[in-house]
Amino acid sequence: MSARVYLDYNASAPVWPEAADAVDEAMRAGANASSIHAPGRAARARIEDARESVARLVGADPAGIVFTGGGTEANNQAIRCSGAERVLVSAIEHESVLSADEKAEILPVDPEGVVDPEALDRALAGDARSALVAVMLANNETGVIQPVARVAEIARRRGARVHCDAVQAAGKIPVDAASLGADSYALSAHKIGGPQGVGALVLRDPDAAGRLIHGGGQERGRRAGTENVAGVVGFGRAAGIVGERLEEFARLSALRDAMEAELHAVDPEAWTVGDRAPRLPNTSMTVMPGCESAAQVIAMDLDGIAVSAGSACSSGRIRLPYVLEAMGVDEAAAMCALRVSLGWWTTPDEIDRFVASWADLRRRTARRVA
């Protein structure tokens, strides 16, 4: 088998060699960033450089960047520590948002997978309780971009705060925290080619964070625990790199669209979820009718191609596609969706191999069904 084809960037992007080097260097340099001595101050400087780099990626104030143990923690902190009396989340949020508050009210999405701002307006109207609204910037499974600016505008008018999970969007499309208008954002390093286990909560008001992790006064008292210097440095380096490559990333949509057209040509019954809505340039979720996602992912893997059936759970088991259910996709089709996510290293040749593998599987399964 020739080299593996990696088309699962939304699960985790390959690390940038420069980011890996930066992690290595910071880890070897060592020291506790809270220490007063020179090695400690050097570690502190590395963190602050990274903070500025991450802030630049999303147009935020470095003072509002709180490094966390990942996107999940950032989402958890934003929601669990908001102090809001009501939490409203869109139906297609990542599980780290959906699970953060079991009593959260669910906002519907339309058939293209776009959250309905008017539904939010109605939900907020005439309720005096303090509210937090969580709407992601781009969905991890479909890539569909959400009207966060509009959501923030409505929320502000209704006196509610907004948290935005920007884990999948940051570094893939231009993100300007100030103009989007949310009160907080979640980011993750490994989705942009940084190390796993580090993320950030981005705050419009640097002092507005509640505490999730208790202990020392690190991160200006907003996140306890000795700083993950190496991880943060890798995050900063990756943020710098992808921030310079947004135009290049935007061009992936041409490759992605051509790929989808080929799949639709192989099987005219195949269709792509959310393709009439604005999407991330790299994400495609396509239904191969009659062939379950699990079979597709396994068949591709055995052909050396890494793809996904939506978000993977920790045990690697394939779960029910709740995002598609929320969009009103019927269950039979939802069970047959495959997520392909391209990235900075993706080549047309890799897409050709994926399409060939997909077509092979389609032929095998069509024969069985017939």
Partner 1 sequence: MISLDIDKPRAGARVVVAMSGGVDSAVTAALVAEAGYDAVGVTLQLYDDGAASARKGACCAGQDIYDARRVADALGIPHYVLDYRTRFRESVMEPFAEAYVAGETPIPCVACNRTVKFRDLLGLARDLGADALATGHYVRRLPGPDGPELHRAVDADRDQSYFLFATSRDQLDYLRFPLGGMTKDAVRREAERRALPVAAKPDSQDICFVPNGGYARAVERLRPGAAEPGDIVDLDGRRLGGHDGTIAFTVGQRRGLKVGGTGEPLYVIRTEPEARRVVVGPRAALARSEIALGGLNWLAGAEPPCRPTPVQARIRSARPPAPATLHASADGTATVALDTPEHGVAPGQACVLYDGERVLGGGWIRRAVRP
- Report the C-alpha gap between 25 and 23 in whole angstroms: 5
Q: Which residue in the set 37, 103, 214, 368 belongs to the binding site for partner 1 (CB under 8 A)?
A: 368
Residue 248 in contact with residue 282, Cβ under 8 Å? no
Site size toward partner 1 (CB under 8 A) is: 22
**Is 313 one of the annotated active-site residues of the chain?**
yes
Encoded tokens for 109: 């999405």
Active-site position among 81, 164, 313, 336: 313
Q: Is residue 103 part of the contact set for partner 1 (CB under 8 A)?
A: no
Q: Which residue in the set 35, 302, 348, 349 belongs to the binding site for partner 1 (CB under 8 A)?
A: 302
In the range 82-101, which residues lie near partner 1 by CB under 8 A?
99
Closest CB to partner 1 among residues 63, 320: 320
Stretch that binds partner 1, among 41-49, 148-156, 251-259, 359-367 (CB under 8 A): 359-367
The residues facing 18 across adjacent strands are: none
Residue 32: Cβ-neighbour burial (10 angstroms; 0-12, 13-18, 19+): middle
Q: Is residue 364 part of the contact set for partner 1 (CB under 8 A)?
A: yes
The residues facing 303 across adjacent strands are: none
Q: Is residue 330 part of the contact set for partner 1 (CB under 8 A)?
A: no
What's 62's DSSP letter? G
Q: Is residue 365 part of the contact set for partner 1 (CB under 8 A)?
A: yes
Q: Is residue 140 part of the contact set for partner 1 (CB under 8 A)?
A: no
Q: Which residue in the set 157, 220, 276, 319 belongs to the binding site for partner 1 (CB under 8 A)?
A: 319
Which amino acid, one-letter code, is at 44? R
Neighbours of 297 (CB within 10 A): 22
Q: What is the dihedral of CA 259, 265, 268, 273, to 10 degrees?
A: 10
Q: Is residue 54 part of the contact set for partner 1 (CB under 8 A)?
A: no
The answer for residues whose C-beta is within 8 angstroms of residue 82's C-beta and 6 or more apart is 132, 161, 163, 210
Q: Is residue 289 part of the contact set for partner 1 (CB under 8 A)?
A: no
Question: What is the maximum span of the chain, computed from C-alpha positions, in angstroms?
Answer: 73
Q: Which residue in the set 295, 323, 342, 351 belongs to the binding site for partner 1 (CB under 8 A)?
A: 295
The answer for residues whose C-beta is within 8 angstroms of residue 311's C-beta and 6 or more apart is 11, 94, 95, 140, 141, 319
Stretch that binds partner 1, among 59-67, 188-196, 286-294, 337-345 (CB under 8 A): 286-294
Q: Is residue 317 part of the contact set for partner 1 (CB under 8 A)?
A: yes
Q: Which residue in the set 294, 332, 348, 352 belongs to the binding site for partner 1 (CB under 8 A)?
A: 294
What are the residue numbers of the active site? Answer: 313
Q: Which residues bind partner 1 (CB under 8 A)?
A: 99, 291-292, 294-295, 298-299, 301-302, 313-320, 360-361, 364-365, 368
